[in-house]
Amino acid sequence: MSETAIDKQRVADSFSRAAATYDQAAAFQRSAGSNLLARIPAQLQAHEIVDLGAGTGYFTRALTQRFAVAAAGLDLAEGMLRFARQCNGSEHALLDRQPRWVVADAEALPLRPASQDLIFSSLALQWCPDLARAIAEARQALRPGGCLAFNTLVEGTLFELQRAWQSVDAFVHVNRFMPSDELRQILAASGFSHWRCDLETHVLRYGQLGELTRELKALGAHNINQGRPGGLTGRARLRALTQAYEAFRQPEGLPATYQVAQILMFKES
Ligand SMILES: C[S@@+](CC[C@H](N)C(=O)[O-])C[C@H]1O[C@@H](n2cnc3c(N)ncnc32)[C@H](O)[C@@H]1O
């Protein structure tokens, strides 16, 4: 989402409210993040690790386990980190080391320059109004030879929902996602010595549209564009939306497409 209209407080509040329901709805998020984790080179040595936009901390714990050091989970949403911290005391207490949790904005990282070996971020940076700034912050915090591994959503994500809404009214109901060419330009201009960006398509299937919209709500991934209409969605509009979305139905159900860019960047040694 490359919109300057993104209101960070609104983003933080929305994710904080969703903290308790996020994990049950996050199958796609797990899959996209696991693919990113699997891309990190096996030989990478990492002692100082940040999970940026950690949410409930699933990947912060996975990083802690994989690298056997306590990773730091950073997030804009205090409610997410409160929930993540509670998980320290549950079944995840089996970890030898417990992650640390810090409220922070990816566009203004509270990290010392050249202090981190690995900055991991799954499905968080599309919420930054200025992605180039977030990448620059990460680069500054990385040690020479350090790695920024992140994924983000690009154009084509939730296109079915977007088109269905377009046939109902002129408001922006679905967050806008950056075209992949624009993303590559930002990566090329970021000053990292080498990087790669691969696109992945995930198509989720639903029996009914309501399952998708409920899932987006449970994830906290609401539309936060300023052009959205206020108030409740009227019944007639919802009926029109449902009907429009049905045009996309396939034998396996209603599709919802996510276009994920998986990115690895290495700072010059
Ligand atoms: C879709 S969740 C992903 C959570 C986790 N990485 C995962 O894969 O399950 C996105 C997270 O990014 C956080 N986020 C959004 N904008 C952020 C920003 N500017 N700085 C830090 N975190 C941010 C949200 O609060 C939310 O917890």
How would residue 73 be classed by pLDDT, with cut points 50, 70 and 90?
very high
* Side-chain-side CA neighbours of residue 210 (13 Å): 3
User: Are the beta carbons of 44 and 111 closer than 8 angstroms?
Assistant: no
Rounded to whole angstroms, the Cα distance separating 50 from 169 reads 41
> Which of 153, 175, 151 is closest to 165 using CA atoms?
175
Q: Look at residue 171 in the predicted model and tell me its pLDDT.
A: 86
Out of 127, 216, 222, mutate this one to test ligand 1's pocket (max ligand atoms within 8 Å of CB): namely 127
Nearest atom, ligand 1, residue 77 CA: 25
Average pLDDT, the chain: 92
Rounded to whole angstroms, the Cα distance separating 105 from 189 reads 22
Q: Look at residue 2 in the predicted model and tell me its pLDDT.
A: 42
Residue in the block written with tokens 């991934």: 221
Q: Look at residue 209 in the predicted model and tell me its pLDDT.
A: 97
Q: Tens digits of per-residue pLDDT, 98-142?
A: 899 999 999 999 999 999 999 999 999 999 999 999 999 999 999
CA 243 – ligand 1 centroid, Å = 32
Contacts of 87 (CB under 8 A, 6+ apart): 56, 57, 61
32 lines ligand 1 (CB under 6 A): no
Q: Look at residue 3 in the predicted model and tell me its pLDDT.
A: 43
Residue 194 has pLDDT above 60, yes or no: yes
206 lines ligand 1 (CB under 6 A): no
55 lines ligand 1 (CB under 6 A): yes
How would residue 229 be classed by pLDDT, with cut points 50, 70 and 90?
low
Residue 67 has pLDDT above 90, yes or no: yes
Rounded to whole angstroms, the Cα distance separating 1 from 13 reads 17
Residue 249 φ then ψ, to 5°: -60, 140
58 lines ligand 1 (CB under 6 A): yes
Rounded to whole angstroms, the Cα distance separating 119 from 51 reads 6
Rounded to whole angstroms, the Cα distance separating 132 from 139 reads 10
59 lines ligand 1 (CB under 6 A): yes
Q: Tens digits of per-residue pLDDT, 152-184?
A: 999 999 999 999 999 999 888 888 999 999 999
Residue 249 has pLDDT above 60, yes or no: yes
Contacts of 9 (CB under 8 A, 6+ apart): none
Pairing of strands 142-153, 100-103: unpaired
Q: Look at residue 170 in the predicted model and tell me its pLDDT.
A: 86
Q: Which two tokens stand for residue 259?
A: 């276009």
How would residue 87 be classed by pLDDT, with cut points 50, 70 and 90?
confident
117 lines ligand 1 (CB under 6 A): no
- Cα 51 to its chain centre, rounded Å, is 11
Residue 227 has pLDDT above 80, yes or no: no
Q: Tens digits of per-residue pLDDT, 10-41?
A: 999 999 999 999 999 999 999 999 999 999 99
122 lines ligand 1 (CB under 6 A): yes
Q: Look at residue 137 in the predicted model and tell me its pLDDT.
A: 98
77 lines ligand 1 (CB under 6 A): yes
Q: Which domains, from first to last, does the chain contain? A: 8-155+176-202+259-266 (3.40.50.150)
Q: Look at residue 92 in the predicted model and tell me its pLDDT.
A: 52
Percent of the chain with pLDDT over 70: 91
Q: Look at residue 188 in the predicted model and tell me its pLDDT.
A: 98
Beta bridge partners of 105: 108
Rounded to whole angstroms, the Cα distance separating 44 from 117 reads 9
How would residue 4 be classed by pLDDT, with cut points 50, 70 and 90?
very low
Q: Which two tokens stand for residue 12?
A: 């933080």
